[in-house]
Amino acid sequence: MWMPYAFALLAVMLTPTRLTIALSSPRSSAKSKMPTYKFTPESKDYDMKVTSLHRYAVKGLSGDPLKSAHFKPGDGTFEDDRRYALLYEKNSDQFDSRSPEWLHKMNFLCAFTDPKGMAKLDTEYRVESCDEGGTTRTLTVWDRSKGRTSDPLVRSDLACESGRDQVARFFTERFGEKVVCVVAQTEDRHTHQFGNTSSGVKNNDGDTRLIHIINSNTVKELSGAIFEDESYLRPTMFRPNVVVDGLEPWAEFDLIGKTIESVPKDGDCDDNTMRFLVTSRTVRCAGIGVDPERPEEEHDIPASLIKHFPEHGPYLGIYAVRVDGEKNGVLSVGETFRVIQ
């Protein structure tokens, strides 16, 4: 049995290009008390750079890389992120499209309930305006092993009910359990997110919409601990909206309770800036144990986190909610985040 160790004070070092946080004590057992993080920067001019952005239109399916994410007034997450979901029909009585509430991921066909099956599919989601008015929201699904040059398994417009029904029939036939493709029927706005956490509901007045941030250096450290190869695990395995660099591993946990502001690449801090309150850590589940690039493999990521980093437990990543939703905003690759004191 591991004996718990007392944690020494955290050493927080800030340089113009890198925010650093270090634990100076040995690792403790999984039962040890979580360390207390203290964020006390002397300057806001550190580099927490946005290296990639991702949207997952249908819960559980692969994401689309974005160069920029545009936010309209009232938007709490990327346009259409987890706007749709494949709800098991047996659980359909729990969902009201006119007044949707957050549901646990076990109610859906997704990476949590069938990680290997979902990893074998490659998807693309496109939003396009029609000449005659209106918007199409086209989902295309391919067999990942055959590539996107092969014929798609299904292609449908999720903006219309018939398209959602077609998608539901495809997934029902492929996975052997009846599902319905659901979306919140609240005008033409993305007002409900089928997220994996109730953090938004608890920390944002019941609003389910939030963004998921992954520190690439944390993923590298975990990958090195498990595989002795820092590049084996990819940040996108953890299904982030935002991947950042410039933080020491695990330093993102120190931002919980803090407000971060996006800074445009040209340094022009006007209406393009956006502010997010970091609300909680991300607890990991078995759903991220299968990398779509290597669907034949399966790794117990939560167990590995507890084994190699017991001081943090089965957590990797953070959630944040938008706190200046009354204005337009743009978040782009290459921007940085700074902490608002």
pLDDT > 50? residue 155: yes
> Can you read off the two tokens belonging to residue 283?
């607890």
Mean pLDDT of 198-218: 79
**267-310 pLDDT, tens per residue?**
655 567 889 999 999 999 888 888 888 888 889 999 999 999 99
**160-169 pLDDT, tens per residue?**
999 999 999 9
E strands within 170-271? 179-182, 211-215, 242-245, 259-263
How is the beta sheet containing 154-157 ordered, strand by strand?
Answer: 121-129, 135-143, 154-157
Mean pLDDT of 13-26: 36
pLDDT category, 14, cuts 50, 70, 90?
very low
**CATH number for the domain running over 48-340:** 2.40.33.20
Torsion sign across C-alpha atoms 126, 136, 61, 112: positive
The pLDDT of residue 20: 38
Mean pLDDT of 163-190: 90
The pLDDT of residue 27: 37
pLDDT > 50? residue 17: no
Per-chain mean pLDDT for the chain:
82
Mean pLDDT of 101-126: 92
Domain ranges of the chain: 48-340
pTM tops 0.85: no
> Can you read off the two tokens belonging to residue 5?
């160790």
The pLDDT of residue 129: 83
With CA atoms as reference, report the closest residue to 83 among 94, 104, 67, 97.
97
